[in-house]
Chains A and B, each alone.
Chain A
Amino acid sequence: MDAIDRALINQLQTGFPICDAPYQQLSATLGIPAEEVLSRLQALLENGTLTRFGPLYHAERIGGALTLAAVKAPLERFDEIAELINAFPEVAHNYARDHDFNIWFVLATETLEQQQHALAQIAAQTGLTVYNMPKLNEYFVNLQLSA
């Protein structure tokens, strides 16, 4: 990852233009040809530096349901539980964390009913209490890290 990659990542986190030739616009900002902007983006996605590129939808505003939930997985069953949870297509992301509450996952569904169903299924399959922590209020979202 060189200085141009870093500049590209910073630029792409703030937003990608909606216009006929968006890479042309980025090309002017970054000082490299449009084709190179695209090939660098492709490489950053392929090597895992970027995990996603596209529209970031606001689940609640498109009628979907989103929640954060956690379980306390016994260490000897950790991998098994993580696998069980990951197998649910409703689980959008899942993180291991260093706490008694050691598996934290986000459920994204089209309806609240589907969410409740998935939570109940996860509880049944893992035999664990699933702590559901839907957001009650959102104060600010600013997911932009300087590369």
Chain B
Amino acid sequence: MDAIDRLIMHHTQAGLPLTLEPYQTLAKQLGLDKQELMQRLQAMQDSGQIRRIAAVPNHYRLGYRYNGMTVWNVSDEHINTLGQHIGQLSFVSHCYHRPRHLPDWPYNLFAMIHAKTEPEAEQHIQQIKTVLGDACQEYTVLYSTKILKKTGFRSV
């Protein structure tokens, strides 16, 4: 990433300009050639620096009232294999291995689930539980009750 890529990043963190030709508008704002801007965005996307150019919805507004952070205490030797399985379940949006903080926080596998109803959420949780099997000793689910802040740098 060079200085021009960084300039592009800083100017698009809040979003793309809302015009019919957003790349033309952005190029003009930055004093860049439109083709160069598009090539740079494409290159950053190809290399994974940009995951994608996309819209991010408010889960609640789409009717997903049950947004649960499911957390699991999974044996360290199996976490990578099991994490891959969990991450591929269609209702899981994010799946990470994170550190435990013993004794307060014994959970090391985090999987975000989204559901429109409570029974649907419960079904998702049971499905994860089945996949983890004996490798998981305990788990809990933390539902979000309020978005306190959702601005600034966005990266998923």
CA distance A57 to B6 in the complex (A): 11
Whether A13 and B55, one on each chain, are in contact in the complex, defined by CB atoms closer than 8 angstroms, is yes
CA distance A100 to B55 in the complex (A): 32
Q: Per-position contact with B for A65-87: 1 when CB-CB < 8 Å, else 0? A: 01010000000000000100110
Q: B22 — which chain A residues lie within 8 A by C-beta?
A: 22
B156 contacts A by Cβ under 8 Å: yes
Q: A66 — which chain B residues lie within 8 A by C-beta?
A: 155
Q: Per-position contact with A for B85-96: 1 when CB-CB < 8 Å, else 0? A: 011101011111
Tally A residues with Cβ within 8 Å of B: 72
Q: Per-position contact with B for A12-26: 1 when CB-CB < 8 Å, else 0? A: 111110111111000
List residues of B (19-73) whose CB comes within 8 Å of A's CBs: 19-24, 34, 38, 41-42, 44-45, 47-59, 61-62, 64, 69
Whether B56 and A50, one on each chain, are in contact in the complex, defined by CB atoms closer than 8 angstroms, is yes
- Chain B: interface secondary structure? mixed
A84 shortest CB reach to chain B, Å: 11
| Contact of A131 with B105 at beta-carbon distance under 8 Å, contacts A49-B62, A55-B16, A97-B142 already known | yes
Q: A19 — which chain B residues lie within 8 A by C-beta?
A: 38
Whether B156 and A141, one on each chain, are in contact in the complex, defined by CB atoms closer than 8 angstroms, is yes
- Chain A: interface secondary structure? mixed
Among A38, A51, A63, A104, which residue has the most Cβ atoms of chain B within 10 A? A51
| Contact of A53 with B55 at beta-carbon distance under 8 Å, contacts A61-B47, A131-B104 already known | yes
A58 contacts B by Cβ under 8 Å: yes
Q: Which of A52, A99, A146 contacts B15 (CB 8 A)?
A: A52
Count of A-B residue pairs with CB < 8 Å: 237
A126 contacts B by Cβ under 8 Å: no
Whether A56 and B16, one on each chain, are in contact in the complex, defined by CB atoms closer than 8 angstroms, is no
Among B88, B101, B156, which residue has the most Cβ atoms of chain A within 10 A? B156
B126 contacts A by Cβ under 8 Å: no
A121 contacts B by Cβ under 8 Å: no
Q: B101 — which chain A residues lie within 8 A by C-beta?
A: 131, 133
B97 contacts A by Cβ under 8 Å: yes
Whether B56 and A143, one on each chain, are in contact in the complex, defined by CB atoms closer than 8 angstroms, is yes
Residue of B nearest to A83 (CB): B148
Q: Which of B24, B55, B84, B150 contacts A140 (CB 8 A)?
A: B84
Q: List 8 A-B contacts (CB under 8 A).
A: A19-B38, A51-B150, A56-B53, A57-B13, A95-B146, A95-B147, A139-B96, A145-B114
Chain A residues proximal to chain B, CB less than 8 Å: 9, 12-16, 18-23, 34-35, 38, 41-42, 44-45, 48-59, 61-64, 66, 68, 82, 85-86, 89, 91-99, 101, 103-105, 108, 131-147
